[in-house]
């Protein structure tokens, strides 16, 4: 699916953050439980941030054409698993995908404020990856 408008990109960001929140909420167990609970709370906050960004003064840009982004580029397996090592690998793959999406989408955003929000979210995601990488077994 082509993410060809401002509205489509923000809608996809909402879907991505919901997917992140759900993954971390259902996977918070064992040694990674505390970190995953924190990442789930953060994803819920980021979801609210994207919703707020979409509402605040950018309605005129909803149909602004954008090219070069496809939802297919950002698909990642977040199915539940019992194996903690597998959970960490899935979390890393998820965060790497989220990072790539926000970096690429920020470059395409016609609204500077939204590009700034996406850049900030990408920077936060880099921090998540730094937290997750030491957990690899």
Mean pLDDT of 35-44: 96
Q: Could you give phi then psi for residue 57, rounded to 5 degrees?
A: 60, 20
- Minimal CA–CA distance to 91: which of 48, 37, 36? 36
Confidence of residue 127 (pLDDT cuts 50, 70, 90): very high
Q: Pick the range with the lowest mean pLDDT from 37-41, 46-50, 55-59, 114-118.
A: 55-59
The string of DSSP codes covering 6-39 is: HHHHHHHHHHHHHHHHHHHHHH--GGGHHHHHHH
pLDDT for position 1:
82
Percent of the chain with pLDDT over 70: 93
3-state secondary structure 34-84: HHHHHHHHHHHHHHHHHHHHHHCCCHHHCCCECCCCEHHHHCCCCCCCCCH
How confident is the model over 80-109, as pLDDT tens digits?
888 889 999 999 999 999 999 999 999 988
pLDDT for res 4: 85
Q: Which residue do the tokens 């259902």 mark?
A: 26
Model confidence at 39: pLDDT above 60: yes
Q: Which domains does the chain have, with CATH numbers?
A: 6-135 (1.20.1260.10)
């Amino acid at each position: 699916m082509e993410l060809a408008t401002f509205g489509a990109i923000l809608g996809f960001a909402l879907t991505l953050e919901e997917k992140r929140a759900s993954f971390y909420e259902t996977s918070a167990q064992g040694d990674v439980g505390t970190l995953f609970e924190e990442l789930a709370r953060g994803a819920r906050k980021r979801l609210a941030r994207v919703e707020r960004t979409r509402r605040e003064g950018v309605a005129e840009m909803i149909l602004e054409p954008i090219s070069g982004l496809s939802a297919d580029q950002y698909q990642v397996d977040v199915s539940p698993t019992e194996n903690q090592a597998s959970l960490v690998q899935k979390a890393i793959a998820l965060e790497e995908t989220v990072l790539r999406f926000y970096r690429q989408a920020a470059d395409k955003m016609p609204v500077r404020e939204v590009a700034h929000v996406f850049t900030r979210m990408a920077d936060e995601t880099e921090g998540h990856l730094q937290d997750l990488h030491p957990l690899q077994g």
